[in-house]
Amino acid sequence: MCGEKRGCHVCGVWQELLLEYNFQAAWAIAFLKIMAKPGGKINLKDKLDGNELDLSLCDLNEVPVKDLSGFPKATVLDLSCNNLTSLPTDFCSLTHLVKLDLSKNQLQQLPSDFGRLVNLQHLDLLNNRLVTLPVSFAQLKNLKWLDLKDNPLDSILAKVAGDCLDEKQCKQAAARVLQYMKTIQADLDREKERKLQAEREREKKREAAQRAKEAQEKEQRKREKAEEKERRRREYDALKAAKQELEKQPRKEMGENPKLSSVSHPSHPPRHKRSWSRVLLKMLFFLLLSALSALAVCKVTELQHQPVCISVNMLYEDALTALQSHKLLQNVLQPSSQQ
């Protein structure tokens, strides 16, 4: 019985110890998860030791840049052994950093303006997923130590970087990579300058073409304006010449044909006179015919003894006498005129 009781007591102690261990492990895991959540904050003061800030093994998914900027004296930053896949763009504002450890993360690329970290001297990028480096990397003129091992680097970059198994090799890697990135930057700068120059040339050509087009349009407008002015001048001259011709034509007709002008001017009155003369002739003919009829009546009919007919016969005889005397006068005058 005692043996059984002693065995049960030992089993209970082990169970209590196991439960306590599991509780502590669960509490530690929960604490790490809380610290790794975006809402959870790490007390950076507890991680600060002089000028070194150790945030390794904190299961970080992102870098608390805003909090880190509050510690400008922390020139050494250790972010190794976390779950970082990228760095925020404002990470490059931490220009006070001198030593940076980003090893054993999952970084696929560095920010394009990583070269702003001009005071950086020591950079550890061991065991990440980097393939290339940003061109601005060439601006890290103070970089003296670099480790790029265990990254799927571009073949040329991997050959340039070489190994980093000791201090000497890491320094050589930093120098070679900087020189390589400077060459790339120079090539890109030349290409950029070439493109800018080509763009400036194209812009000059566009401006020249635009100026030529504007000058051509201006010349065209000027030519059209001159043609329009010449057309209006010709129309004015033509109208003026026609007006002068119309004014000269009556004078010319009057100067060349004065008889026609004098006759043509009173053309209507002679027609008027001829019409009146015809009327008068008709009246005289009618009166003469009436007088002859009356004379015939008075000579032939029984009315010759009437007073009216006697007067008519007397007038007839006087007229005959006058005519005879007129004929005698003509006969007398003709020989004298012939002499």
Using 70 as the pLDDT threshold, list the residues of the chain that sit under it: 1-41, 251-274, 299, 302-304, 326-339
The answer, as to whether pTM is greater than 0.85, is: no
Reading the block at residue 111, the tokens are: 């920010």
pLDDT of residue 101: 97
pLDDT of residue 313: 74
- The tens digit of pLDDT for each residue in 262-281 reads 444 444 555 555 677 778 88
CA distance 83 to 102: 10
C-alpha 301: how far from chain center: 122
| Eight-class DSSP state of 72 | T
pLDDT of residue 1: 43
53: three-class secondary structure by DSSP: strand
CA distance 212 to 296: 114
Q: Is 230 exposed, middle or buried (0-12, 13-18, 19+ CB in 10 A)?
A: exposed
pLDDT of residue 315: 77
Side chain identity, residue 201: E
Percent of the residues in the chain that have a pLDDT greater than 90, as a whole number: 55
CA distance 183 to 189: 10
